[in-house]
A and B are shown apart, each in its own frame.
Chain A
């Protein structure tokens, strides 16, 4: 073997931007995360050419697992064409040449902020969620060192107390998005700020979910077929967002998570998942569209037991 065989021409950037050492570190952390569902694994979290808090954690995971045969979908609030989603997709495509799609069924890797696609994801698909605050304690106990101890002791009293205080003061649990979930009966996890409606899509799912917080330098995972149950008291049922009676103005759909759009004379509603909406519209026009199975019913998801 010649020395020349072992070298390669200088390139401006490595495939998928991150150098191979950085990718290997992320992959090792991912393996650990999958092995210990819901546990936050620290990782170095390199700077990438995006601002922190703009999906750098999700991006590092995507860049570390993506390959030539991957198909990438990137969404923000459910929308493929939201400005930051467009930017992230453009960056990954530029650094890898990978094919992109807006179809949740076609994608092998879906990077998302704040939503899970409406169509049920399947075995082999990977959902990468961008996470702003990886620790469910951050709303009640900002010290990360102390939060780590509480996780180690499985001491989640503070989180339960927060729910209880909401109930006694307001008669309702007031967490909006990012409602804490119990993963496989052990770690309580921040599911990232997805609506409560989306939590059911993590429970006993076919797909793998990877969650990564670049700024906070933590990543964690929900492997397929894992229990993910929202924290809720036995006698106070967990509630998803109430959107009964809402009709999507564009597709006429009466299911799926919708955006409320203020109008001068009131409001209208439209599906938040634009890839799904696009397919419904195509079907409506009589064009071919393969629409995936709807996810498990959100209404009857059990809460976790105390």
Chain B
């Protein structure tokens, strides 16, 4: 198929798309539902990076893209950008979260308790090969605890603040919420904009940069105060009656990370990362980076501008892939300079 043809480029791209979408010919609506139910953590990752809570659409995006994560995120973002912003929901508080998993590395036990919830952290990573032989898995029954965990748990940051280990909340919290989908990010970014940016950052990118900090590049020596997976109601104010009502329920997750940043006023600093969906690796890496960015003389690759700009999934993947596009005009311009400056290697003798 012609890459740049005198005519026919349009037909070429249509055929190329048809080739790539052949896998969709046999997809049924129940397959999308299967993806949504069985690959829920993948769906969560796409929703988090797509900054749109819509499990069904995320599952569709995954199916449509053949599982290409960056492509699925782009599909979701491009859909999101056509949707109006109708209202601001009520803030989610610790007390309003229906918490299903909550662990703290900072204390053995703490108000609200430690609750493992659903996790593969302590599973043996062996492939369940019996599934390939057509044998159904024998899974142990989940045993009910005689005393069910409380529905919600208070955050540990409040306790640390009472104890004077953590700085106090600002007297007048900012009421102006930034929206990075409506205003371009400028630096230094307002805290709300930074947290939004982290929330939809590319998971692998945050992991790579966060990991570099953890192993020593301007290391902040983090302690995980809390990782929490929860459900939240999305509470809106009715525009006519003024009554609060729930527009739906969403999976959300958050990590709070503690580190001594040697600031003069407070003993500890709190890093935070919260996302739509349950994305534990991203939370911890993001929370650590939130702290690292505020470290004096931080490594250049961990500065706020560097981290936020380069973990933007849609922009990074799009720009990377754009190098596939024709560049023969710019390349010609470059060749001209190399030939002119005489820096080109002497042409090879043809020996045959």
- Chain A residues at the B interface, C-beta cutoff of 8 Å: 13-14, 17, 19, 22, 42-49, 51-54, 56, 76-79, 81-87, 89-90, 113-115, 132, 143-145, 170-178, 193-196, 215, 217-218, 239, 241-243, 257, 259-260, 272, 274
Contacts and interface: CB of A to CB of B under 8 A. Distances in A.
Interface stretch (B9-17, B126-134, B237-245): B9-17
A137 B211 CA distance: 30
B344 to A, nearest CB: 11
B187 interface: yes
Given A47-B81, A81-B7, A195 B333 contact: yes
Interface of B: 3-10, 12-13, 74, 77-78, 80-82, 84, 181-188, 305, 309, 314-315, 317-322, 325-338, 340-343
A17 B79 CA distance: 11
A52 B331 CA distance: 21
Nearest to A175: B337
Interface of A is mostly: loop
A195 to B, nearest CB: 5
A82 B78 contact: no
Contacts of B319: 52-53, 132, 215
A132 B322 contact: yes
B73 to A, nearest CB: 10
Nearest to A84: B325
Given A47-B78, A51-B74, A90-B13, 20 more contacts: A19-B82, A45-B184, A46-B181, A47-B80, A51-B322, A82-B326, A86-B10, A115-B329, A144-B187, A173-B337, A174-B341, A175-B337, A177-B330, A177-B333, A178-B330, A195-B329, A215-B318, A215-B319, A243-B336, A260-B332
Given A81-B10, A115-B329, A172-B341, A242 B336 contact: yes
Contact of A176 (B78, B309, B330): B330
A13 B82 contact: yes
Contacts of B8: 81
A23 to B, nearest CB: 12
Given A90-B10, A132-B322, A242-B340, A44 B181 contact: yes
Contacts of A218: 184
A83 to B, nearest CB: 5
